[in-house]
């Protein structure tokens, strides 16, 4: 089992248990925890942060089997669909898309992920 822990988080941003990697919600914020403006830019920022977290547990986008998008504006769905098609080959991972009333640090997007990776030899 591999655990990636950051001193600024009371949780593991990425946690590997056997062949499965769980990534905590990755927000659409910059390194100073300021919200990233713009619809596409916010979606891309959340994916970039999620990808960084996946890497800390030995996984990448091609290993993702399930994503959950939390957004503060349900109309982001079309942009998220285009992003999803751009990032993932067919068959694409399962996805849930939910509207929430608010996210930490004023973010507009948060994405969590589950990935499947081969067991280390």
Q: Does residue 6 register a pLDDT over 70?
A: no
pLDDT computed for residue 118 by the predictor: 82
When divided into structural domains, the chain yields a total of: 1
Structural domain boundaries enclosing 56: 14-116
Residue 8 belongs to some domain of the structure = no
Residue 23 belongs to some domain of the structure = yes
- Angle of helix 77-87 relative to helix 39-56, nearest 10 degrees, comes to 40
Angle at alpha carbon of residue 28, lines to 48 and 61, rounded to 5°: 25
The pLDDT tens digits of the residues spanning 45-87 come to: 999 999 999 999 999 999 999 999 999 999 999 999 999 999 9
Residue 121 belongs to some domain of the structure = no
Residue 24 belongs to some domain of the structure = yes
Mean pLDDT across the stretch 30-44? 96
Q: Does residue 120 register a pLDDT over 60?
A: no
Nearest one of 34, 13, 30, 35 to 22, comparing CA atoms: 13
Residue 84 belongs to some domain of the structure = yes
Residue 105 belongs to some domain of the structure = yes
The domain that contains 71 carries what CATH number? 3.30.1330.40
User: Residue 12: which pLDDT band, with cuts at 50, 70 and 90?
Assistant: confident
CA–CA gap between residue 56 and residue 60 (Å, rounded): 9
Residue 4 belongs to some domain of the structure = no
Residue 98 belongs to some domain of the structure = yes
The pLDDT tens digits of the residues spanning 13-28 come to: 999 999 999 999 999 9
């Amino acid at each position: 089992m591999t655990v990636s822990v950051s001193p600024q988080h009371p949780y593991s941003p990425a946690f590997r248990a056997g062949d499965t990697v769980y990534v905590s919600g990755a927000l659409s914020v910059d390194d100073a925890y300021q919200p990233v403006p713009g619809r596409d830019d916010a979606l891309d920022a959340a994916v970039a942060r999620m990808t960084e977290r996946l890497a800390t547990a030995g996984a990448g986008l091609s290993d993702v089997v399930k994503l959950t998008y939390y957004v503060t504006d349900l109309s982001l769905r079309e942009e998220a669909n285009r992003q999803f098609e751009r990032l993932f080959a067919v068959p694409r991972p399962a996805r849930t898309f939910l509207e929430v009333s608010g996210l930490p640090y004023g973010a507009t997007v948060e994405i969590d992920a589950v990935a499947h990776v081969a067991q280390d030899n």
